[in-house]
Amino acid sequence: MTIVVHRLNEGARTALKVHFLALSPEDRRLRFGSTLSAESIIAYVEGIDFDRDAVFGVRDDRLRLVGVTHAAFGDDLAELGLSVLPAHRGHGVGGALFERSVAHARNRFVSRLYMNCLEENAPIMHIARRFGMSVVSSAGDAEAHLLLPPASPASLAAEFVTNSLAEYDHALKLQVRAWKRINAALKSAGPLEAG
């Protein structure tokens, strides 16, 4: 199964809030380093700068965000935060989001990727090690660093193709959803009478 990762924009703020609020208190603690209230999550999403940062998501067939990464860009550094809803874990969503974020950062001439998480966050620690990040743990916190290779024509072309595939996937899912709604409306209206 191919996992399609979409770059999100301002229009995704509501979907992002729904995604983060669907995380259990424990999952919020693992994602953000502390158990954030609903108000804090809303403030976090409202504070995302979509022009500076990159936010990526994986949507299910009903267009709900099931996984999200937020790559916050600074001077020659991108800090990555990642979350996947429980029902979608263990299927490669986190790895696909990580790879997409790395490709994007690399193609923006960022040389280092950074993740800070709780040492007990086994899924993130697994992803960090799987992708060759240098992990240093101290007092329950873990910092993971990855040096990124410079952008290349091949990496830029791959990102273009990935973006195009994501746009096609989103349009297709919108069409399927619209046809399902039309079909449901026709079924509820009953049979048409011949005139």
pLDDT digits (tens, 9 = 90+) for 7-32: 999 999 999 999 999 999 999 999 99
What DSSP designation does 53 have? S
pLDDT of residue 170: 85
* Residue of 128, 124, 160 lying closest to 145 (CA atoms): 128
Assess contact for 48 and 98: CB atoms under 8 A: no
- Going from N- to C-terminal start, the domains of the chain cover 6-179
What's the rounded Cα separation, in Å, for the pair 147 and 15?
31
Q: With 0-12 CB in 10 A as exposed, 13-18 as middle and 19+ as buried, what is 123?
A: middle
pLDDT band at 188 (very low <50, low <70, confident <90, very high): confident
Domain 6-179 has what CATH class? alpha beta
Q: How confident is the model at residue 1 (pLDDT cuts 50, 70, 90)?
A: low
Mean pLDDT for the stretch of residues 125-145: 87
For the residues 91-113, what does the mean pLDDT come to? Answer: 94
Q: What is the mean pLDDT of residues 154-171?
A: 89
Question: Helix or strand or coil: residue 20?
Answer: helix
pLDDT tens-digit map of 56-81: 999 998 889 999 999 999 888 999 99
pLDDT at 144 over 80: yes
pTM: 0.86
